[in-house]
A and B are shown apart, each in its own frame.
Chain A
Amino acid sequence: MSASAFNRATPYIFLLPAAVVLAIALMYPVGYMVWASFLNWNPSQRIGEAEFVGLANYARLLSDMQFRESLTVTLAFAASVVSIELVLGVGLAMLLDRKIRGMSVLRTLFILPMMIAPIVVGLMWRYMYHPTVGIFNRTLKAIGLEPVPWLSDPGWAFVSVVIADVWQWTPFIFILSLAALQSLPSSTMEAARVDGATRFQTILYVKLPLMMPVLIVTALLRMIDAFKVLEVILVLTNGGPGLSTEILALRISRTASEFRELGQAAAMSNVLLLLLMALTAVMFVYSKFTEMRSRRQVA
């Protein structure tokens, strides 16, 4: 091997161990899952004994009304929580992006919900949503209003799980947005003030576009999480009433443990994975596109 070829290969040689570890740690489970989705596999069998059924699991998903229902619930859930959390989190960050005394204490308070284990969050909210002794209905009653069937009505149950998720995860977006805001160059904001921008215009035309890369990543992380959320809903409603809050993760876990159809569950997981990858790709393309457009703009 010539010296220059060797020099060029050096970085790859250094990368090799990491690549191998990554391949095993990441590709093996994913590969396993993909393989499992082609099998009719019962948990009592070893994987070798399972019958190969090709795309049958996927074909069944297409006609499975319950799967479709759960997919719709998941999409609705993810879209609602991510958009509400983004608006609230970014809005809060905008409001609190100033020098106030005790700001660091306030910030710590804000991120507390994020630190609580999801199971505990679920239990906590279940008590608060309790039809008779929960704080919400007692308050409603005290001010003379009708109690709300938080978890027992399909429509309300969906709202309730959204509220709980918003409560837990808005701080995440808040913290990241605040960090993004505070790392913006202050003199650029000053330039906007001199150029005649109102507070609102500064936010709209300067701050938000500059925060966009962070916001996109944040939204993506939240989106991925929202697609996979399980514990809180499991504790709060266990998917009910009916299928009104049965998100995909719950359906998958049920299919695997209750219905004992591992192949089917793997196929569902793969659909979820593909969906997430498609979303990520769309967001990536979109941000590239806006970047290109801003370059071409004239005056």
Chain B
Amino acid sequence: MPKITLAGVTKRFGALEVLPPLDLDLADGEFTVLVGPSGCGKSTTLRMLAGLETISGGEIFFDGRPVGALEPKDRDIAMVFQDYALYPHMNIARNMSFALRLAKTPASEIEKRVKLVADMLNISHLLHRKPSELSGGQRQRVAMGRALVRDASTFLFDEPLSNLDAKLRGKMRTELAEMRGKLHKNMIYVTHDQVEAMTLGDRIVVMSEGRIQQQGSPEELFKKPANMFVAGFIGSPSMNFITAVLEGRGQETFAISPGLCVPVPSSAAEAAGGREIVVGVRPSSIHLEHPRGIPIELRVVVSEYLGAQTVVAARTPDGTEVLVEIASGRRFCAGEAIIMQIVPEDILLFSKESGLRI
């Protein structure tokens, strides 16, 4: 289970630079999740790790050994493709066993492993069908199965659950989480879904436009996002950003925006490097009542009942949209004016110019 290092890896497609130099260290046996918006270079990174895409610069090391020039088959990897990439002419059983058959695994062993994985993925009843006779979600599970029957040391997953329904996705997530504990293999997992990222990842790498915005444990990313991009990307519903003006009043400095006044430590005020600052508040940090809460004036636009939780979309007096997530119970009417309380410890401050957290 190699330690994987990307050292200044770049990728260009012709003149288009997709990945600026990328440095990343993945520890042995770690479950790494790459997240980021569509087109940010997640698949490209994964495909370079697999050896399917040449690297335009830098080098990839597995346990200190450069692998940039190696064929995929010499890298001991298994991969789940974003578009499944099943073999159309083989039935599902043969699809799953292809790699094992190439590796001359004994037939009894192949059968055992295919059965085990097919049971786990709930596709045992499909083994005799052709890929064209399956639904998208079923194909995706077969693609997953084809990787999992193998005994590779590194698994690469490119959005392997994106086409499943919520329930199945939840189940597969649990299965994967369980497998991660048991197998002790390197897993690199690409997803859009930050719930998947948070629940599966030992380490999450947030990318945007080919750059790594931040990497760390799920808690680190959630509690200490490095910048506004990460703060907005991690967590659902996403964080509210309110632009405020810094104002000194006596000894103290406040970030002031219509309907909101947040005390700012002087160090932060200096770091802001300007008159404006961005206040970040998670929807779950705004309550109806809080003993030490910082009041915020809101006007309700709509409320969405989600069962145990209700998400209220509201606006501050100057029109900035703010989402609030609170326990259901009270009903909100559109247009209703209300003062809510922000938990002071949960407030994050960002520089308006650089977007970095201060």
Contact = CB atoms under 8 A, between A and B. Distances in A.
Interface of A: 185, 187-188, 190-198, 201, 205-206, 209-210, 212, 294-299
B85 A185 contact: yes
A192 B89 contact: no
Contacts of B88: 185, 188, 210
Interface of B: 50-52, 71-73, 77-79, 81, 83-91, 93-94, 96-99, 102-103, 107, 110-111, 114, 127-130, 146, 150
Given A191-B81, A210-B89, 10 more contacts: A185-B85, A191-B79, A191-B85, A191-B86, A194-B52, A194-B73, A194-B77, A196-B99, A205-B98, A294-B94
Contact of A193 (B71, B97, B128): B71
Contacts of B111: 298-299
A209 B89 contact: yes
Contacts of A194: 50, 52, 72-73, 77-79, 99
A174 B166 CA distance: 48
Nearest to B94: A297
B137 to A, nearest CB: 18
Nearest to A193: B72
Contact of A190 (B52, B93, B94, B129): B52
B91 A295 contact: yes
B89 A187 contact: no
With most chain B CB atoms within 10 A of its CB, the pick from A198, A201, A205 is: A205
B110 A299 contact: yes
B91 A188 contact: no
B73 A193 contact: yes
Contacts of A206: 87, 89
B44 to A, nearest CB: 13
B87 A191 contact: yes
B102 A195 contact: yes
Nearest to A209: B89
27 contacts: A188-B85, A191-B79, A191-B81, A191-B85, A191-B86, A192-B98, A194-B73, A195-B73, A195-B99, A195-B102, A196-B73, A196-B99, A196-B102, A196-B103, A197-B98, A197-B102, A198-B73, A206-B87, A209-B89, A294-B90, A294-B94, A295-B128, A295-B129, A297-B93, A299-B93, A299-B96, A299-B114
Contacts of A298: 93, 111, 127-128
